[in-house]
Amino acid sequence: MPEGPAVSHVIPDELLRRFDVPGPRYTSYPTADRFVEAFTEQDYRLALGQRRAGSMALPLSLYVHIPFCESVCYYCACNKVITKHHSRGAEYLRHLSRELDLQIEHLGAGQSVSQLHLGGGTPTFLSDAELEDLMAMLRRHFALAPGGEYSIEVDPRTVSAERLRALHRLGFNRLSFGVQDFDPAVQKAVHRVQPAEQVFALVDAARQIGFESVNVDLIYGLPLQTPESFRRTLAQLQALRPDRVALYAYAHLPARFKPQRRIVAAELPGAADKLAMLSASLDILRAAGYVYVGMDHFALPDDALAVAKRQGRLHRNFQGYSTQPDCDLIALGVSAIGRVGATYSQNAKTLDEYVDLLDQGRLPIVRGLALTRDDVLRRAVIMSLMCQGELQFEAIDLGHLIDSRRYFANELRALEPFVDEGLVTLDEQGVQVTETGWYLVRAIAMVFDRHLQADQDRARFSRIL
């Protein structure tokens, strides 16, 4: 299994440019753009009932979406509601409670949960008392397992050390801070001003309080960023030394995401500068001792994510790379996406529709997908490549009762350019992603995406680097 590229290795710019194409992030397969409205609330209820009846159900994970933010970050592509009226939090919790009751009616109470993630929006928009109510609500219906991963996304502007202590008392053991960039000019350009000193103080407090892992998000490709300015941000990150780093490429899609229209396109760095930022980030983080987990995730060697990578236990879900086993995911809240058995489902994307469906006594499912046998097979292949960096023919053959080399004959031929460029090796045992190929694992996985190969219109996806 590849451990990621060595610090001294440099990918030629020409190679990066050639393979830097639009493509999915593969937090699921098939991807969410394939969901259909023909998948209804009734289909989801059926999936919940089948899980309840099954004696060999997958482990369970929970995701709760809190959509509210006090102010808009211009780069943001998340589902959010901008408001300063914190009274809206209490009303939203009442509807989350209704949704949860409807879910439990078909799922059954008391199931064990080993992973919980609160995302947004800004989960810390809710008050400490409201977060306490939410956690109590979840604990009434589920058994949160000891030693599980319980994480929350935190806007540093919305918390203090005292609030972090409150989160820890509620059972959260992992934090994710949205930083994006430490440069004040870049922060101003994206409407997210937060002094570096504030972030450093909060991370220090989190360590003293006893959080098991602290993640920091960075974005390269933002307006006014240069390779030199981003190196300064990376130097500050080295001093901060979070347990995990998520390094995302900014995708400027103003036609799809209205807040991005406020970004001055002329201030965005060019493609060459973006690649220089990525290259510097990979070198600096690896030199600082971080394990390159894959795609945009890095972790210190003793962090659970890096350990899972070494032991071949890495998985992906709608939040990215995960240490947890292959899980069913119960998703709560507006726009939330879940997975139960061989189905995906998504809640209503607007708050008004979400509330209206719940007020009618209905689960707010508006679209989803029931996977075919081919979908399940290709999901296994793509996740193996994305997480373990390999495809073992024998394992796929035994698990899905096929002959991989015949079933994927066209795909294996399509891998030949990747073999020629040293990105993968291909033999009788299977496909192995090389150290160089690990940079471009999304492009490799795309070869096995039947839906993508049938639809060459990829403009709806961000570029892979």
Residues making up the annotated binding site for S-adenosyl-L-methionine are: 63, 75-77, 120-122, 153, 180, 192, 217, 251, 337
Give me the phi and psi of 114, to 5 degrees please: -115, 0
CB 247 within 8 A of CB 296: yes
Residue position matching structure tokens 């901008």: 82
DSSP, residue by residue, 41-66:
HHHHHHHHHHHHH-TTPPPEEEEEEE
**Bridge partner list, 80:** none
Distance CA 222, CA 229 (A): 11
Closest CA to 16 of 204, 298, 249: 249
Closest CA to 285 of 233, 323, 250: 233
Closest CA to 314 of 265, 252, 385: 385
Annotated binding site for [4Fe-4S] cluster: 69, 73, 76
Q: What angle do CA 85, 91, 96 make, to 5 degrees?
A: 130
CB 227 within 8 A of CB 280: yes
R_g of the chain, CA atoms, integer Å: 22
Give me the phi and psi of 183, to 5 degrees please: -75, 125
**Bridge partner list, 315:** 322
How many other C-beta atoms can be found within 10 angstroms of the C-beta atom of residue 20? 20
Annotated binding site: 63, 69, 73, 75-77, 120-122, 153, 180, 192, 217, 251, 337
Closest CA to 304 of 244, 236, 379: 244
Please state whether 440 falls in left (phi above 0), alpha (psi between -120 and 50) or beta.
alpha
Which one-letter DSSP state was computed for residue 259? G
Burial class (CB in 10 A: 0-12, 13-18, 19+), 342: middle
How many other C-beta atoms can be found within 10 angstroms of the C-beta atom of residue 144? 16
For residue 450, give both structure tokens: 């039947």
